[in-house]
Amino acid sequence: MLPEVQSWMRRRSSRAADWPVSALAEAKGAATVSVVLPARDERETVGEIVAVIMRELGAVVDEVVVIDSRSTDDTAAVAARAGARVHAQDTILPDLAPLDGKGEALWKSLAVTSGDIVAFVDADIRRFRSTLVSGLLGPLLNDTSVAYVKGCYDRPLDGAPTGGGRVTELVARPLINLHWPELAGFVQPLAGEYAGRRAALERVPFLTRYGVEIGLLIDLLDLAGLDAFAQVDLGSREHAPQSTEALGGMAGQIMLAAWSRLCRQGKIQTCHDPSCRLDQFRRVTAGHEILTSDISVAERPPMVTVPAAASAA
């Protein structure tokens, strides 16, 4: 690991316990905070997450917004009953052709939230704790030089205390160490819990689908530099594990996201466009069935460049 990254980790790492809510409320001053949950068919968990944030972080959080990403269940109604303001993803900036995926929901949330600081939290977390949010806010509310905070945590899997985060270890971390070693100090580069200053988030593009997290790390590094980042240990985080097939699709999207940044930064030269089709195999009675999926990753421009965004908030 680069010496400057080791130095950054010593200076910019903390634990959620270092940021009690009472201290955050005092440090907050005039700053406003929005918490955003992108949600698709998460009725089993989204209500509890919203309720915990509303109940325990009211002194710090000004608004909780759920972006409903075409749920087929009553996720939106559950979130609203718990106290969140809910927006259907496709009704935000309706003049734009809709895109798919988590990154689209996060990008559109910038048009319907008002906080100076925006925290993003996944809506599928089991046994949610408010420190998963307050920990992210600590460095931002206490140090104006911090622009972006990434959470890290243990990932339980099948009853074991660790073992989750397989796409991180098999795909994202090798890519980062090879091409962006300044980012190698992030324990969970694909973590769904992170927060940033609106002034920074609105100045970078958002990749759609599962490319959004690695794209934000790379683009914000270019924008603000490593010392504008901080990392907070949030303890442990548990959600329903995905199938190996689903993880393969996620891995493909992350690789395409990295490819796009390598090309943009002039780190590679290519004579062809990468395939956005992923062929996987499933055993059936007659042998193997081919499963083909679209893993293409689109991109939204920096929100500050979108004229309609100002009127949508």
Note the pTM of the prediction, 2 decimals. Answer: 0.93
pLDDT in tens, 182-198: 999 999 999 999 999 99
pLDDT in tens, 18-55: 999 999 999 999 999 999 999 999 999 999 999 999 99
Residue 281, φ and ψ in degrees, nearest 5:
-125, 140
Q: Are 172 and 189 in contact (CB under 8 A)?
A: yes
pLDDT for the residue numbered 158: 60
To the nearest whole number, what is the mean pLDDT of the chain?
Answer: 93
pLDDT for the residue numbered 110: 98
Categorize the per-residue pLDDT at 61 as very low, low, confident or very high, splitting at 50, 70 and 90.
Answer: very high
Average pLDDT of 168-180?
96
pLDDT for the residue numbered 9: 97
Q: How far is Cα 181 from Cα 217, in angstroms, rounded to an integer?
A: 12
**Nearest CA among 175, 185, 180, 34 for reference residue 111:** 34
- CATH among 3.90.1150.10, 3.40.50.970, 3.40.50.10310, 3.90.550.10 for 3-255+294-312: 3.90.550.10
- Domain boundaries in the chain? 3-255+294-312
pLDDT in tens, 228-282: 999 999 998 876 677 888 889 999 999 999 999 999 999 988 777 888 999 999 9
Q: What percent of the chain has pLDDT above 90?
A: 86
Phi-psi category of residue 120: left, alpha or beta, with phi > 0 → left and psi -120 to 50 → alpha: beta
Q: How far is Cα 249 from Cα 226, in angstroms, rounded to an integer?
A: 29
Q: How far is Cα 164 from Cα 166, in angstroms, rounded to an integer?
A: 6
